[in-house]
Amino acid sequence: MLRDKMLSVISAVNGEVAERNELVEYIAIALLTRKNLFILGDTGQAKSYAINQFRMRLKGAKQYERLLSKQTDEEALFGRIDLKSLIDGNPKMITTGKIPDCHIAFLDEIFKSNEGVLNTLLTALNERRYTNESETVEIPVISFMSASNEIPNFSDPSEKILKPLYDRFELKIITRYIESRDKRLEMLALKQTALSRAMDPASITLDELYEMQREVSEITIPGSINELMDDLLCELRRLGIHISDRKYLNYSPIACAKAWLDGRDSVISTDLLALKNYLWTAPEDITAIEQALERLCVNPIQDKLLEIESIAKDTFDDFIASKDNKNAMKKFRGEMVRIYDMTLEQMSKAASDSETHMVQMTLESLERYSKSAHEKTIFTYAPLAELKELAS
What value does the mean pLDDT of the chain take?
Answer: 90
Element (H, E) at 106: strand 104-108
Distance CA 277, CA 170 (A): 8
DSSP 213-252: HHHHHT-B--HHHHHHHHHHHHHHHHTT----HHHHHT-H
Q: Please report the pLDDT score of residue 89 as a whole number.
A: 65
Q: Please report the pLDDT score of residue 87 as a whole number.
A: 67
Helices 47-55 and 2-14: crossing angle in degrees, nearest 10, is 140
CA 369 → CA 67, 311, 337, distances in Å? 66, 11, 12
What is the dotted CATH code of the domain comprising 2-217?
A: 3.40.50.300
Q: Please report the pLDDT score of residue 210 as a whole number.
A: 97
pLDDT tens digits for 81-91?
A: 777 766 666 77
Q: Do 125 and 180 touch, CB atoms closer than 8 A?
A: no
pLDDT tens digits for 109-147?
A: 999 988 888 888 999 999 999 887 677 888 999 999 999
The CA-CA-CA angle for residues 202, 208, 212, to 5°, reads 105
The dihedrals phi and psi of 63, each to the nearest 5 degrees, come to: -115, 150
Domain limits, the chain: 2-217, 223-298, 300-391
Q: Do 48 and 87 touch, CB atoms closer than 8 A?
A: no
Q: Please report the pLDDT score of residue 86 as a whole number.
A: 66
Q: Please report the pLDDT score of residue 49 as a whole number.
A: 92
Q: Which of 235, 241, 276 is nearest to 255 (CA)?
A: 276
What lies within 8 Å, CB to CB, of 164 at 6+ separation is: 122
Distance CA 75, CA 335 (A): 67
Distance CA 347, CA 301 (A): 9
* CA atoms lying within 13 Å on the CB side of residue 262: 18
Which residues of the chain carry a pLDDT beneath 50? none
